[in-house]
Structure formats: C-alpha cells, structure tokens
Amino acid sequence: MLKDIKGQPKALRILKGTLKKDRVPSAILMSGERGIGKRLAALNYAKAINCLKPAGVDSCDECISCKKTDSGLHPDVHIIEPENDEIKIESIRKLDEILSLKPFEGRKKIVLIDDSDRMNTNAANAFLKTLEEPPDNSIIILISSGEDRLPETVRSRCVKIGFSPLPSEICKEIISGRSVIKDINLHLRLSMGRPGLAVTRNFSEDKELFLKLYKNMLSDNSKEIWSGREQMKLWLDMSLIFLRDSIVCKVTGNEADALLGESSICGSIRKAIDVYNQLEQIRNLIDFNLNKSITWNHVSGIMKSIS
C-alpha cells in the first residue's frame, strides 16, 4: 500500500493528490537513487489505481485486483525491464502492443518501465512516439536511477516525481525489519539512505573487495583489474563513499568516522573533492562500455595522485 512507503512524503503527496483529484497523468517519471523505494511506490500506485475497494486514496490491499498486482498476475499491469543491461526496441514494440488493447479487468492499463534510462537510441526514439500520442486508459511509469541518460524529449513529456535517500532512522527501521545483518551499522552507513541496497548487498564483502583492489591499484606492479562492468560499478560506488569519508575525517579530525579505513589518503580537502568529481564522471559513463584496462589505468593514476 502507498501508506507503507516510508521516508518519501513529497512523492507520496503528489501521487495521492493525483488519485484524490482523479487526474492520474498518462506518463510519470519516478527518479532518484537506486534502492530508495521507487519501484515499490510505482507498484503500489498501480495497485491503488485499479483497486476494486479503494481505501480513500490508497488500495485496500485485499481485493482480487490488489492480490493479482502483488503476485505479478494482473492482466493490466506490466513491467518492462532491461535484458542484458539494455532496453531494446523490441520491448517498446511489445509496450505498444500492450497499450493498444483495452483494459481487461482494471480501470487503466499500466506499464512500469524499470531502469528506463537503459533504453538504447532506437528504443528511446520509438518510445517518444508512444509518449506523444498515449493510448486512452493507459499509464506509463518510468523508473530511473539516472534520469540524465534519458533524452530530454522523453523527460519533458512526463510528470516528474523525485525520490530522495531516506533518513538514517527510517533506513534502520526498514533494514532491521527485513533482513538479518550482522553489522547493521556498517550496512546502514554504507547504504547512504538506500535501504534497498542494504538488504540485497553484503557490504562487508564489498568493503573487503574495494580495499583489496584499491591497494593493488596503488602498487607499482598493479596487474589486477575489475572482473567485469558490475565490479567496476561497485568499486567506483565504494570509492565515492571512501572519498566522502576522507573529507569528513579531514573536517572533523576524527578518523573514527572512516567507514572503509585508510582515512588519511588525501592531503587536502580540495584535492579529494576534485578526485571525487572525476570518479563520479567516470561512474556515470560506465554504461557506455568503457574499456576495463584503460579505465583501470586511468583510475589508478587518479587514486595515486591523492595517496
């Protein structure tokens, strides 16, 4: 239910407002970092739209429509996801086919496009035509953790609803209730307000991998590189946390604030911020199939500049 979405009061206010006024947009873009509840909110919004016994502006969570949506069996609620890290034009053609039909059971035909920023150029161009002439009784919800990768022409045709990282107390409540984690404080801090990551990733292992590769990166005979793109993403994500902690330690003078150790890597805050910005730019380019070896050597040079 929408009421179960925690830590997103602004987003919920907008979603509930559209239901209360019966003015649900034909296209919505839910944006924000990964692991903060966008997909869950989208599914609960879809559930509320087609609920047979709505409780005000929320779903009843008990009718057959709600149960079918929860189980992924509702004939009018569909989810499109990347295949091999990409959304291709075939998926958009499937979307058009779905939306061309009238709703079978619900009031609206609803399609959720998760990781919508993974659409390739052909898919995005085809999808734009769908947005320009949306079928009657249809709703498209785009979910994105990198909305800047979506064409402006697509973003401008959607009602944008932003989601933010959650406060630590709410994260702790979610993490404690859904997963048995030995070092909950480490997961809480490394998740940086993203409880969805804390309950699906082993941050203790992530920390060990990051530090191992970091030390290898600094060695004069560095030969080891990332095993693949996912490990590149993970390492760069951790490097940003690493640098943030170094900056915090420099400001507070308390090395106990460091999450990953090695808190004295940077000689100056200005240099650490500059390196942070460089690594963030590289992280944002990962989806453009950066060469692993070249990127490793480039990042190694950046990290050595502050070691």
Q: How do residues 238-253 score in pLDDT, each as one tens digit?
A: 888 888 877 777 777 6
Q: Which of 20-24, 159-163, 233-237, 269-273 has the largest mean confidence?
A: 159-163
pLDDT mean over 102-126: 94
- Taking the mean position of all CA atoms in its chain, how far away is CA 94? 24
Boundaries of every domain in the chain: 2-162, 202-304
How many Å apart are CA 281 and CA 275, to the nearest integer? 10
From residue 219, alpha-carbon distances to 212, 228, 307 in Å are 11, 21, 11
Sequence letter at residue 278: Q
pLDDT tens, 157-170? Answer: 999 999 999 998 89
Helix spans in the chain (H): 9-20, 38-50, 64-71, 89-99, 121-132, 152-155, 168-178, 184-191, 195-198, 203-218, 229-252, 269-284, 292-304
Q: How far apart are CA 117 and CA 59, in angstroms?
A: 29
More confident of the two residues 74 and 183? 74
How long is the chain?
307
Give residues with Cβ within 8 angstroms of 91, minimum separation 6: 80, 83, 123
CB 78 within 8 A of CB 88: no
Contact between residue 67 and residue 59 where contact means Cβ atoms under 8 Å apart: no
Amino acid identity, residue 208? E
Higher pLDDT, 299 or 272: 299
The pLDDT mean for the chain works out to 88
pLDDT of residue 45: 97
Enclosing H/E stretch for 139: strand 138-144
Query: 185 vs 207, which has greater pLDDT?
Result: 207
Task: Note the CATH number of domain 2-162.
Answer: 3.40.50.300
Handedness of CA 275, 277, 278, 283 (dihedral sign): positive
The Cα–Cα gap between 48 and 55 comes to 9
pLDDT reported for residue 266: 58
